[in-house]
Structures are given as structure tokens and as C-alpha cells.
Structure 1
Amino acid sequence: MVTSLLNALNKKCNHPDLAKLLLRLSMGMLLFHGFHKVMAGVGGIGAMLVAHGVPEYVAYGVYVGEIVAPILIILGVLCRPCAIVIFGTMVVAWLLVDKGSTFAVDQYGAWAIESLMFYVMMSLVILFNGAGRFSIVSEKWR
């Protein structure tokens, strides 16, 4: 009886393209970080980059990683290249801001870099799975 119920559940819930769409929409929450940088500017990021010997203008790349790439992923356009861009953006964010928190927990007991790692992991899943059927472009551009 349990086996038949589990098989029925598996059959009803087996929608990988819908799962890819939901994942892409979840990645879209990265836009909130990007919009914050549109409103506040990237001066703070530029200063951190300069402190590490990187030119300040590189900070403008955050707009690509936190606005352009998430929008394209939501739409299902160039998902794999955009996932690589987001992965790189998150690695840079970790190196600039959160490297010291890698093995720490926050005041609520959560991993201190938990949200950053969610974006890292989602970008890797999108990289390896692609956009799925629910996309605005043809297969060759997903």
C-alpha cells in the first residue's frame, strides 16, 4: 500500500521542467540585491576591490551578476552562461565580504554565509540542468 502511494505521488510530481522554472524564478530573488546596488551605488564594493588591488571599475560588474543575469535566467535565456556569471559574482562577494564567516554561524544559529551559498548552489544546478521547456527562447539559446 505504501509503495503504491509513493509511486502515485512520484508519478504526479514528476515535472522536471516545472522544477527548473521554479528554480529560475527563485534565482530571480537575487534581483533584490542588484536593485539595492542601483539605489545605493557600488562605491562600497569599489573600495573593497581597490583594497585588494583590483581596479574600482570592476565593481560595475555586480550589475551584470545581480541584475542582467538573474533577469535572463528568469526568462530562460542563456541560462548556463548566466549561471556561471552569478557563480563568479557570489565567489567575489564571498572573498570580499564573507570569507571570515565561512565557518561561522549567525545570531540565530544559521550558517553565516547561507544565503550566499544558496545562490552558489542554485547557479550550479541551473548550470548543469539548463532552462527547461518553459523558456521564452528556442532550445539552442537556453
Structure 2
Amino acid sequence: MNALKIEQSSNIGMLLLRSTIGILILFHGIANLNSNYAFIKQLLEGYQIPDFLAYGVFIGEVIAPILIIIGYKTRLNSLIIAFNFLTAIVLAHSSDILSLNQFGGWGIELQALYLFGATTLFFIGAGRYAVSIHSKWD
């Protein structure tokens, strides 16, 4: 395979990863938006954290995924998502880190997929099939 085909395949892979992670997290974010972040507010109150911070999840689960899907500042937005899911794991799923779910999968496999998928996007960037490709954050 020549270098041009390898580069094209890599760019298609980056687009596919961006789209998959972005769309799946966006569905997650819309569900939280529809509930007005009730679960997250309750969780934060349990830690004596002001519940208005729950609206920060809107940035990490709605705005950042949309920007990743279109390929705008992918590295920056992937950091936002990674921070969002690291926080979710610590606050809401810490008891599941060393457990298996009812199907034998890791207790936090979904959250870990989002966290490590976003981290991967931080390292590889948006690729050529993106709205913005000339910034260090792309």
C-alpha cells in the first residue's frame, strides 16, 4: 500500500472514531439534558458540590461532542470530554472500577470507552476530514 492510501485510510479512521465517540456521547448528553441533569445534580449535592455545576456536563456531553463530530478543535474538545468522563467515573462509578457487570464486562466499560476514546482523539487529532485542520488543537 502506498503512502497516499495509508494517509487516506488513517484520515477515514480518524473521521470514523470522531463520529462514533461524538455521536454516542451526544446521545448520552441529550438524555441528561432531557432530565434537566436531575441525577447529576443529586450526585453533586451528595458530595456538597453546588448543583449548578451539573450544567457543565452540557459542555462535555453536548457541545464538545458536536464539535468533535464536525472536526473543530478536536484535541481541545476531546480533553473536555475526557475530563468529563474521568469526573463521572470518580463521582458516580468509583465502586464499579474493580467490578464486572451482569454480562461479565468491566463495570465501567462504557465510561472507559468514552474516556479512552477521547484521550485517543487528543493524541491523533481530527485528521484531514474536519472543519478545522490548521490549529494545534485540531
TM-score in same-fold range (> 0.5): yes
Confirm or deny that 1:123 pairs with 2:123: no
Question: Which amino acid in the other structure matches residue 27 of structure 1?
Answer: I
Structure 1 stretch 13-22 or stretch 129-138: which is displaced more?
Answer: 13-22
Seq. identity, %: 31
Return the match for 1:33 from 6, 13, 28.
28
Under a length normalisation based on structure 1, what TM-score does the superposition of the two structures give?
Answer: 0.87
Question: What is the CA deviation profile of residues 38-59 of structure 1, one whole-angstrom value per residue up to 9, with x for unaligned ones?
Answer: 2111122112112112111100
Segments of structure 1 that go 5 or more residues without pairing to the other structure are: 1-7
Whole-Å separation in 2 of the counterparts to 1:13 and 1:91: 36
Question: Which amino acid in the other structure matches residue 74 of structure 1?
Answer: I
Question: Which amino acid in the other structure matches residue 65 of structure 2?
Answer: P
> Map of 1:8-23 to 2, 5 A cutoff?
14=6, 15-23=9-17
Question: What is the CA deviation profile of residues 60-108 of structure 1, one whole-angstrom value per residue up to 9, with x for unaligned ones?
Answer: 0111000000000000001111111101110111112110000100111
Tell me the secondary structure at the aligned position of residue 93 of structure 2: helix
- 1:104 match: 99
Under a length normalisation based on structure 2, what TM-score does the superposition of the two structures give?
Answer: 0.90
Aligned length: 134
> Map of 1:73-112 to 2, 5 A cutoff?
73-112=68-107
Return the match for 1:70 from 65, 70, 73.
65
Tell me the secondary structure at the aligned position of residue 64 of structure 1: helix
Whichever of the two has the greater Rg, that structure is 1
- 1:55 match: 50
Misfit runs of 4+, over 2 Å: 10-14
- 1:137 match: 132
- 2:37 match: 42
